[in-house]
Structure 1
Amino acid sequence: MKYKIIIPAVLVVALGASAIFWLQSTSLSEKNRPEDVNVSLETPSIQVPVIEQATNAGDAEISRVSKNDLGDTPEAIDSTKNDLQALSVQEKVSELVSEYFLLSNKPLKKDDREEIIVSLANDPDTVEFFETVYSSGITEESELAGQQAEIRVLGVMVLEQVQKDGDEEPILRAIRGVNSRLLDQDKTKGINLDLRDLVSAWSSNRYERILQNPTDEIAKLGSQTGDLDELANGFLAGMTSHVPKETLWPFLRDHVISLYSANQNNT
């Protein structure tokens, strides 16, 4: 009977100890759980300022993108046109001359080069500027002195485009201007070639009428020339691809060379 009483008592003590242990374990786990929850909840809020900073940095970077980075998009083209409109004639010519010769090494950019020529030919101020380049020259003190060779090369193409569009007077005034400078003993380097290139461009687009009425057509260039050789070379270069040599050589001898030689001897 004594042993029957002791056994239940031992069971009660063991069960009580187990309950106490379970309660302590639960309490400890509950204490740790809030800290884990707080970390996971705070993590997104920490990232928000970083995201905002990245967005602001991106906006700042976009604002620093240059026109060249935009490529050939419509926005870039419109921006370039607006910028050019705000420039002076000399600044506009300088910028487009640089652009033209940068594109000259890119065969696939032929249309872009032609667009530059057409845009300059359609601007009366730039056409007048190129006329002045040939009639007066570019001084060494000019801001364009470093580009004078390129400007004179491009000027021939611009004035030729004006002639193709129906107005030959600008290129004729340029030819007469160069002739006048040569007669005044202007020794500017390349001026003789300016005469040749201008006459070549004009005669290439006028060869039929020149052959039909040589006296009146040639008279448009002025009665005298400061360099007969380059004047004749200009006709030769401009008309060779259009006129057979059997016709061209007699024309040069009988009309160009003889006319200007006679005028030179009479002065």
Structure 2
Amino acid sequence: MNNPGECTPTPAAHVLCDVVDGVADVRLNRPERLNALDDGMFAELIATGERLRDDPGVRAVVLSGTGRSFCAGLDVSAFQAQADGRPWRPHEVARREESQQPADDDAPDTGDGDFGVPGLVLGRGQKAVWVWQVLDVPVIAAIQGHALGGGLQLALGADIRLVAPDARLGVLELEWGLTQDMTGTQVLPRLVGLDVAKDLTFSARRVTGEEAVRLGLATRVCDAPRDEALALAASIAARNPDAVRDAKRLLNHSLEGGMREGFRAERSAMERNVGSDNQRHAVREKLKGRS
């Protein structure tokens, strides 16, 4: 287990991160804006996820928001810029100016292959979500208040979503004349089914945490999602880290590959784990409780 530490956020501190006993506690930190997403928030989410991916001591992650909401979506200032015809993604404007690329060119950034989709260039919003899926360890989102638009897509990047019963979740992009562009069109149908995904998208209706669980949009309802998430993360951090990482990888593979490859990967993981130091320690700890 690693000692208490920090993920060293950027000076703007839009994202806070503390690592204690293998659990990374990541918090969106714009409570006065209901943790709305701006350019700085996107950059810090990506940077924080990448730092955690490189930290072998991290065994589980909790993703939550400070204040009364998880994330209310894209900051209204970005929509105002869109309405006025002004640039609303400063980092993309600067990148195009530096590279002298045409406006519709999305030139690759260094390290795009690290997001698990080699050969594909991801947008910043996609990276801010997908970085949590390419982490080797489980990521648990704790949702209270709002998870709307981009905020909901961010939550979809987690492996597990614990949600307050009175939370409000919604696919709101069409209200602003947009479509989802933070992996939501690909992830949402896998969770709730194609017809429900279309209903949520076309209607832009908000659902409660309880309905979200019924639809498959969230995992389970909790009165105190962050407390529950931290407790779950602590229990995961106490398990064999090699087996936990293999379990996430194998479960994700079930959505992407065929059964033949999946069965082969299962056997390889078992052969790798059984008899290892971490697995033998787990068995000894389990047997202690039976004596």
TM-score, shorter chain, exceeding 0.5:
no
Q: Which structure has more RCO (C-alpha within 8 Å, separation ≥ 6)?
A: 2
Could you state the TM-score of these two structures normalised by the residue count of structure 2?
A: 0.30
Could you state the TM-score of these two structures normalised by the residue count of structure 1?
A: 0.31
More helix by share: 1
